[in-house]
Amino acid sequence: MEISRLPAGARQRRSAEIRDFLRSRRARLTPADVGMPVGGTRRTPGLRREEVAVLAGVGVSWYTWLEQGRDINVSPEVLDAIARVLRLDAAEREHLYLLAGLNPPQAEPVQRQAPPELQRLIDGWMPKPAYIIDRHWNLVALNRSAQVVFGYGPDDHNCLVTFFTSARYQSAICHWQDAARAMLGQYRADAARYADDPEFDRLATDMCAVSPAFAEIWAEHRIGSNAQGTKVLSHPQVGELIFEYTMLPLPDLPGHRLLLHNPQPGSDAESRIAELLAAEPAAR
């Protein structure tokens, strides 16, 4: 949101925050850090405003107005130049964009591999199902319960693909049409969030070609967000399983989400899961 459109109180807080943020980042650097000669005696530590402006290729007055949080035109290119001069890391650069009223550039997709500590986390969620997906809904990590309960095997790499192309999975999901519409509403919302990522369109195009059900629902242009919800399965071995699920973002892995499933209170899903796990071999 542009700063000028914020309420007066929020505008003042934003101005104070961007001022303090940029000043603190200037103060932690010296001219030597950025390859500038030091002449005479400096009265204050850190870089001066005019030094940041020169190195970033912007006017001193403009940079001063930016620090003051004034309503000025700000471009991503200029913010990136300032971020480079001030040696901002990825989180700080994102913070600068937000303070300036711009959407931060999306981080590059992270390699499809979960850190060991996240694998230990979902393994510790046993005997309840848990798994991690990336921004394109690829399965990054899952625990044994997710494999056994949902039937994810070595050939299942993407939740969306499995949902629409696996006859086994479709037969197991109760109220499949409702679940499919909710799922594609979430996927379309994700695609809009990463508008510069062509993989979303590629996957949707491929799925429209192979799944008439996907193509029909995709054409409805549904938008949704399902951070919490209910999954109802009809498992071929133990019958109905009802789960409450929660989808949590993983800030250190941009675009990745952790899905945790709990048996619905009052159901016997937990004991049925125990039956499944006892009957299935430990390795798949």
Measure the CA–CA gap between 118 and 250, rounded to whole angstroms. Answer: 10
Mean pLDDT comparison of 10-19, 129-138, 151-160, highest-scoring range: 129-138
What 171-179 contacts at long range (C-beta under 8 Å, 24+ apart), as own/partner pairs, is 171/234, 172/233, 172/234, 172/235, 172/236, 173/231, 173/232, 173/233, 173/234, 174/232, 174/233, 174/234, 174/240, 175/232, 179/231
If pLDDT is split at 50, 70 and 90, which confidence band does 214 have? very high
Q: What count of Cα atoms within 13 Å lies in the side-chain half-sphere of residue 169?
A: 22
pLDDT of residue 102: 79
Measure the CA–CA gap between 177 and 110, rounded to whole angstroms. Answer: 31
pLDDT of residue 1: 41
More confident residue, 266 or 244: 244
Measure the CA–CA gap between 132 and 256, rounded to whole angstroms. Answer: 7
Give the DSSP H/E element, type plus range, for residue 22.
Answer: helix 8-27
**pLDDT tens digits for 88-146?**
988 888 888 888 877 777 655 544 578 899 999 999 999 999 999 999 999 999 999 99
CATH architecture entry for 116-279: 2-Layer Sandwich (3.30)
Measure the CA–CA gap between 196 and 199, rounded to whole angstroms. Answer: 9
Can you give the residue ranges of every domain in the chain? 3-99, 116-279
Q: Which fold, 3-99?
A: 434 Repressor (Amino-terminal Domain) (1.10.260)
pLDDT of residue 34: 73
Q: Picking from 40-54, 87-101, 207-221, 230-244, which range would have the lowest pLDDT averaged per residue? A: 40-54
**pLDDT tens digits for 247-279?**
999 988 888 999 999 999 988 888 889 888 888
**pLDDT tens digits for 173-213?**
998 999 999 999 999 999 888 877 888 988 998 889 889 99
Measure the CA–CA gap between 71 and 134, rounded to whole angstroms. Answer: 37
pLDDT of residue 227: 85
Compute, in degrees rounded to 10, the torsion defined by CA atoms 140, 144, 149, 152: 40
State pTM to two decimals: 0.63
